[in-house]
Amino acid sequence: MCFCRYWHGDELPFDGPGGILAHAFFPRTLKEGEVHFDYDEDWTVSNGAGTDLLQVAAHEFGHVLGLQHSLEPDAVMCPFYSDSYPLKLSEDDKRGIQYLYGPPLYTPPDITETNEIKTELPDACRTSFDAVSMIRGELFFFWSRYVWRIRDRRLQGGYPALSSRHWSGIPDYIDAAYEDRTGNTWFFQGDSYWVFDAERKISGPDSLERLGLPVTDIEAALRWEEDHTEKVYLFKSSFYWSFNVQEKRVKDRHPRSIHEWAGLPSHINAAFLDSYGYANFLSGLYYWKFDPVALKVLEGYPRRIGMDFFGCSEPV
């Protein structure tokens, strides 16, 4: 392994900051096992700035093991750089490596399931939320099996509460949610989705394949209206799909890059449209307020979610 600059002895020169980040050599080649990183990149580790060394190294080590590029946008072996955190192998990555080397040789231990609920409730000031949605004019924040409810900018008493208290039949945790123009709420989790009318389930679980999505584990869903036309966007990693609400299918199976929307982070946990018409994007403990007309983030963002929505004190 080396951090090299420009021409460095393998006829695959680097090009300075940006562009080519690294390359590796496959098994049974002259330089098999070698990984070269471009010295001129701004390398960092898991801090959201610069180029994440862990993400790039994992991709290149995949080549060293014999993996080709993947067409799945959430795969480590996707040919386009992503700094999504934490680093996680997709099912396509796992299938590829098991095809080359065989399945795992161990059996995961059995985990005893219980119906017990921990008495220690999650702290909204330190929670990275899974999903957020404006539902019936109230703002709901989801994490694991819990939900927080905000009305008129005030957290309601008795929250967090179990999500199943409101929506019987909802999965134990959700990845994304949005309320459509008719007032129905769509919940996404794993490879499935559910649709609720108020607190009553009207469909689901149904497969995301019915919506034309080529991936699972949608991470955020956002609805807004433009010229009286309903628009819905589904996000995963640093990509998004435009959803045709009339046909109930994505318009194109090939995703677009979130980097087209100026100022947004490269990975989004949740999104919602507020009562003022601004799109809000959450990543970790922060959120970005986005003008859907000007297509840019408002000045002064990102801000901390806990401070603005839950009245948390500023961290020391």
| DSSP string for residues in 106-144 | S-PPP--------SS---GGG---SEEEEETTEEEEEET
User: Which tokens sit at 301?
Assistant: 């963002």
Alpha-carbon distance of 78 to 30, in angstroms, equals 24
User: Is there a contact between 203 and 187 (Cβ–Cβ < 8 Å)?
Assistant: no
Please provide residue 46's backbone torsions phi and psi, each rounded to the nearest 5 degrees. 55, 40
Buried residues in 246-284 as b, exposed as e (16+ CB within 10 A) = eeeebeeeebeebeebebbbbbbbbbbbeeeebbbbbbb
Question: Nearest to residue 257, comparing CAs of 274, 279, 235, 276?
Answer: 235
Residue 233 β-bridge partners? 222, 242
Establish whether 41 is a catalytic residue. no
**DSSP-derived 3-state class of residue 177:** strand
- Which residue in 60, 72, 179, 219 is the catalytic one? 60
Q: Indicate which residues carry an active-site annotation.
A: 60
